[in-house]
């Protein structure tokens, strides 16, 4: 089955009249167990959320699972627990993506047929008809090799899937080059798959235009329509902005880059090579990526400035405060539209570890932020709970972005890492906290029960 809508959306005809507060739901796994790490990855489309739990127990150890939640007139509930047809200790759920009735789940440590390729990785496609999900495809790389980590990140838009393999070793460059050598250790690659009447098939093999060892191209991926973005956190060039020099400079080690690819007819080509406007060593630009139409955002968790809000000073002062960079396309030309910081910038907050964009809304996670005040727009200067985490919402008017909302969990906890993952769909958004500790299950349980360490949770908001 290739998927497709079989029924109306789960809340068709429902009213929002019963929504009492911006936080709409607190979601847990269906089992109460420590170290599940629900929310290691999260994605949302309409009234469906999928979250990865790469330590979810199955028959063969902690094989991992992806949990699907849906919203109807009665609120949110668990619809399915997705599992691979060949479970192993593969980090299934390391990455997830959703588009309509199709979900993709990455398992970066999957070992190939007969366990013949250690940690080569795989991605699994599931499709929904009515309320039932089934596995419809098992995807692997055309040049699968040991420790390639195919499935580290996945993305989907309609009939197009992109899978990152940041430790792939070929020295090929650009599109569909030589896959049969291992001459550039961990240069990385991304793979494009398209759905046709006969199922899913690989359409393109993407490499950086300046592929080098340890660039980790494919560490993050995104897709919207016929545009793909790929992050390479280990890329080393001194360039800044768009389409600068791509030569390596050891003083800019692991500055990171983002590559934009577009499809015209049946052919893919690289459209842009993107660097941070304040490029420097160890920025890790491309740690996270998200794209919607002509807008994409890239996170840089190691960016060091102490500015706050949008388009402030880019001078380095603190360590690992983090930043996000918004780029916009006009015609075929990309330019940086905004340099985005937290409203309460702090050292080691890891702002930008997760990003999401939908229309004129931008959501950014900072999972190591230390605020202790729950809810929305509380005191951001109270750093009483180390690693509780936060998320930040921004809005765009015309071509200008402004800070909107400082978001905390309803019960912030020590090292919960709220902001591990973020996703937006329409006015709704979800923030995950992979190390949240409650023993609750299901929807809106007891958040104060910290009996199951690192079980993880999801928080859904609908302002």
On whether residue 161 sits in a domain, the answer given is yes
Structural domains of the chain, count: 1
On whether residue 435 sits in a domain, the answer given is no
Q: What is the pLDDT of residues 387-399, one digit of tens each?
A: 999 999 999 999 9
Query: What is the per-residue pLDDT for 6?
Result: 58
Question: What is the rounded CA–CA span in Å between residue 304 and residue 282?
Answer: 10
Strand order in the sheet with 295-300: 288-292, 295-300, 323-330, 333-340
Cβ pair 357, 342 in contact under 8 A: no
Q: What is the pLDDT of residues 350-403, one digit of tens each?
A: 999 999 999 999 999 999 999 999 999 999 999 999 999 999 999 999 999 999
Mean pLDDT value of segment 430-457: 97
Query: What is the per-residue pLDDT for 3?
Result: 43
Mean pLDDT value of segment 61-79: 93
Q: What is the pLDDT of residues 92-144, one digit of tens each?
A: 999 999 999 999 999 999 988 878 788 899 999 999 999 999 999 999 999 99
Burial of 286 (0-12, 13-18, 19+ CB in 10 A): buried
C-alpha closest to that of 329 among 256, 272, 276, 289: 272
Summary mean pLDDT of the chain:
93
Query: What is the per-residue pLDDT for 430?
Result: 98
Q: What is the CATH number of the domain that holds 345?
A: 2.130.10.130
DSSP conformation class of 152: S
Query: What is the per-residue pLDDT for 151?
Result: 97
What percentage of the chain carries pLDDT values higher than 90?
87
- Report how far apart, in Å, the C-alpha atoms of 372 and of each of 349, 363, 383, 421 are: 14, 20, 6, 19
Mean pLDDT value of segment 220-234: 99
Mean pLDDT value of segment 330-336: 98
What percentage of the chain carries pLDDT values higher than 70?
95
On whether residue 440 sits in a domain, the answer given is no
Assess whether pLDDT exceeds 80 at residue 40: yes
Cβ pair 260, 270 in contact under 8 A: yes
Query: What is the per-residue pLDDT for 56?
Result: 93
Strand order in the sheet with 41-45: 41-45, 48-53, 65-72, 75-82
Query: What is the per-residue pLDDT for 440?
Result: 97
Q: Provide CB contacts within 8 A for 354, sequence distance 6+.
A: 288, 299, 364, 365, 367, 419, 420, 421, 422
Question: What is the rounded CA–CA span in Å between residue 388 and residue 175?
Answer: 42
Domain coverage including residue 212: 42-397
Q: For the ranges 218-227, 246-255, 309-318, which has the lowest average pLDDT?
A: 309-318
Query: What is the per-residue pLDDT for 194?
Result: 97
What is the CA 355 to chain-centroid distance, rounded? 7
On whether residue 463 sits in a domain, the answer given is no
On whether residue 431 sits in a domain, the answer given is no
Assess whether pLDDT exceeds 70 at residue 348: yes
Query: What is the per-residue pLDDT for 209?
Result: 97
Query: What is the per-residue pLDDT for 75?
Result: 96
On whether residue 379 sits in a domain, the answer given is yes
Strand order in the sheet with 160-165: 153-157, 160-165, 189-196, 199-206
Query: What is the per-residue pLDDT for 61?
Result: 67
Query: What is the per-residue pLDDT for 9?
Result: 52
Q: What is the pLDDT of residues 80-94, one digit of tens each?
A: 999 988 888 899 999
Question: What is the rounded CA–CA span in Å between residue 435 and residue 174?
Answer: 38
C-alpha closest to that of 111 among 145, 155, 84, 161: 145
Query: What is the per-residue pLDDT for 420?
Result: 98
Assess whether pLDDT exceeds 60 at residue 19: no
What is the CA 442 to chain-centroid distance, rounded? 23
Q: How confident is the model at residue 60 (pLDDT cuts 50, 70, 90)?
A: low
Cα 354–Cα 357–Cα 362 angle in degrees, nearest 5: 80
Assess whether pLDDT exceeds 90 at residue 317: no
Q: How confident is the model at residue 2 (pLDDT cuts 50, 70, 90)?
A: very low
Assess whether pLDDT exceeds 60 at residue 20: no
Q: What is the pLDDT of residues 136-182, one digit of tens each?
A: 999 999 999 898 999 999 999 999 999 999 999 999 999 999 999 99
Cα 106–Cα 229–Cα 80 angle in degrees, nearest 5: 30
Query: What is the per-residue pLDDT for 17?
Result: 36
Where do we find the tokens 């690693």? 387
């Amino acid at each position: 089955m290739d998927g497709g809508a079989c029924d109306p959306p789960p809340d068709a005809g429902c009213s929002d009249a019963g929504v009492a507060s911006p936080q709409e739901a607190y979601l847990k796994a269906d089992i109460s167990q420590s170290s599940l790490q629900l929310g290691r990855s999260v994605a949302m489309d309409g009234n469906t959320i999928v979250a990865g739990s790469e330590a979810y127990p199955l028959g063969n150890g902690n094989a991992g699972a992806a949990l699907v939640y849906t919203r109807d007139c009665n609120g949110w509930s668990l619809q399915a627990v997705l599992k691979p047809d060949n479970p192993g200790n593969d980090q299934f759920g390391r990455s997830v993506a959703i588009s309509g009735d199709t979900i993709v789940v990455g398992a970066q440590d999957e070992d190939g047929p007969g366990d013949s390729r250690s940690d080569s990785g795989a991605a699994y496609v599931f499709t929904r008809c009515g309320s039932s999900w089934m596995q419809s495809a098992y995807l692997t790389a055309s040049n699968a090799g040991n420790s390639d980590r195919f499935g580290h990140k996945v993305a989907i838009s309609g009939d197009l899937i992109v899978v990152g393999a940041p430790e792939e070793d070929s020295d090929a460059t650009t599109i569909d080059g030589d896959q049969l050598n291992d001459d550039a250790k961990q240069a990385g690659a991304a793979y494009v798959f398209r759905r046709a009447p006969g199922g899913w098939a690989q359409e393109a093999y993407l490499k950086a235009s300046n592929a080098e060892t340890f660039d980790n191209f494919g560490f993050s991926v995104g897709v919207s329509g016929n545009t793909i973005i790929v992050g390479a956190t280990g890329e080393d060039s001194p360039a800044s902005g768009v389409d600068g020099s791509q030569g390596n400079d050891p003083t800019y080690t692991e500055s990171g880059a983002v590559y934009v690819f577009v499809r015209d007819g049946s052919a893919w080509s690289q459209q842009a090579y993107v660097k941070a406007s304040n490029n420097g060593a160890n920025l890790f630009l491309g740690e996270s990526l998200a794209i919607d139409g002509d807008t994409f955002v890239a996170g840089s968790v190691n960016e060091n400035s102490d500015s706050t809000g949008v388009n402030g000073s880019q001078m380095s002062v603190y360590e690992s405060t983090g930043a996000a960079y918004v780029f916009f396309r006009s015609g075929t030309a990309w330019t940086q539209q905004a340099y985005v910081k937290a409203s309460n910038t702090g050292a080691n907050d890891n702002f930008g570890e997760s990003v999401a964009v939908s229309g004129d809304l931008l959501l950014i996670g900072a999972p190591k932020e230390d605020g202790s005040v729950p809810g929305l727009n509380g005191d951001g200067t109270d750093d009483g709970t180390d690693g509780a985490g936060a998320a930040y919402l921004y809005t765009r008017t015309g071509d200008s972005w402004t800070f909107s909302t400082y978001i905390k969990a309803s019960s912030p906890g020590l090292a919960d890492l709220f902001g591990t993952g973020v996703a937006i769909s329409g006015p709704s958004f979800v923030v995950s906290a992979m190390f949240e500790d409650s023993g609750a299950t299901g929807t809106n349980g007891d958040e104060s029960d910290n009996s199951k360490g690192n079980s993880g949770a999801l928080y859904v908001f609908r302002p």
